[in-house]
Amino acid sequence: MTDISPLQVRAVTKRYGAVTALRDVSVDFFHGQVVGLIGDNGAGKSTLVKILAGTQRPDDGHLIVNGEPTTFHAASDAHAAGIETVFQTLSLVPTLSVVENVYLARERIVGRPWSWLRRLDKAGMLREASDKFEQLGLRLPSLTARVSGLSGGQRQAVAIARGALWGRRILILDEPTAALGVRQSEAVLSLIDTLKTQGFTVILVTHNMEHVARACDRVVVLRLGRKVADASMEEVDKMTLVGMMTGAYE
């Protein structure tokens, strides 16, 4: 992985009052890599995710997107840079269908402005979403079924697929397996494999060491707001990671 990094974090610090949530953290992300972002509660994972998602701004430091120094001021800035974040809450609307959720607030319209024919491009959106779901190897009973009828794993898959549909380069998954059982978690991890082969950079935030070992190429460990490790998966084992998370190796 020697090509240009699509996303770099440079010396980012974030304070909340007297608490320093992130202290001088720098990370480089690369194309087609799955990076595990791990750490104990309060390590700064969520803060880093929020900065990458554009919902929080760093106090010091900045991001570099495709070589350009930048800071995201809003979620739309992150979206414009090709970064999509799937938060734990998923943000799916239960009474809307899968395809309606995928296009929520980004609906496609046919017809010229102010023309009587101007309306939702329902067929086009369904076709495009079906293609994308197929590319990702996702098979749902129906894309026109309401999300309220889907299982937790299916909802997670829909949320990730939505991110993949809109994100061009980077997908951040915040604890995607936290609420899932074993089989459903495996389905989500397989989806991450597929995303990787399609060139996505995936940032996987998780507590689960098994899932890091199963899905990630690289792991970044945060502890008390500092980066304490950044290594390829071949170089570390689970015990070491747990030790670094808890501070036993300091």
Partner 1 sequence: MSRLLSGPLARLGASWRPDRAQKAIDAAQQSGLAAALVVMGAYFAVSAPRFLDGANLVVILLQVAVIGIIAVPGAMLILSGYIDLSVGSVAGLAGVVFGGLAAGPMPWGLAFVIALGVGLAWGLIQGALIAYGNFSALIVTLGGLTGARGLATLIQGVNVKQGFGNGFGFLGDGSILGVRTPVMLLGVVLALGVYVWHFMPVGRHMKAIGADKDAAFANGVAVRRIPWVLYMVSGLCAALGGLILTSQIDSATAATGTQMEIQVLTAILLGGVSFQGGRGTMAGVVIGILFIGVLDNGLVLLNIGPYYADIATGAALVLAAALDAFYKRIESLPAGMPGDEPEAGGPAAHEATPALDARSES
Residues making contact with partner 1 (CB under 8 A): 75-76, 87, 89-97, 100, 104-107, 109, 119-120, 134, 136-142, 144-146, 148-155, 157, 178-187, 190-191, 193-194
Please say which residue, 12 or 172, places its beta carbon nearer to partner 1: 172
Please say which residue, 63 or 180, places its beta carbon nearer to partner 1: 180
Please say which residue, 69 or 111, places its beta carbon nearer to partner 1: 111
Q: How far is the CB of 238 from partner 1 (least distance, A)?
A: 19
156 within 8 A of 186, measured Cβ to Cβ: no
Please say which residue, 66 or 76, places its beta carbon nearer to partner 1: 76
Sheet containing 68-70: order of strands:
19-29, 7-16, 60-65, 68-70
Q: How far is the CB of 102 from partner 1 (least distance, A)?
A: 10
Q: How far is the CB of 54 from partner 1 (least distance, A)?
A: 12
6 within 8 A of 65, measured Cβ to Cβ: yes
Q: Which of 191, 102, 95 is nearest to 149 (CA)?
A: 95
What is the per-residue DSSP string for 147-187?
GGGS-HHHHHHHHHHHHHHH-SSEEEEESTTTT--HHHHHH
Q: How far is the CB of 144 from partner 1 (least distance, A)?
A: 4
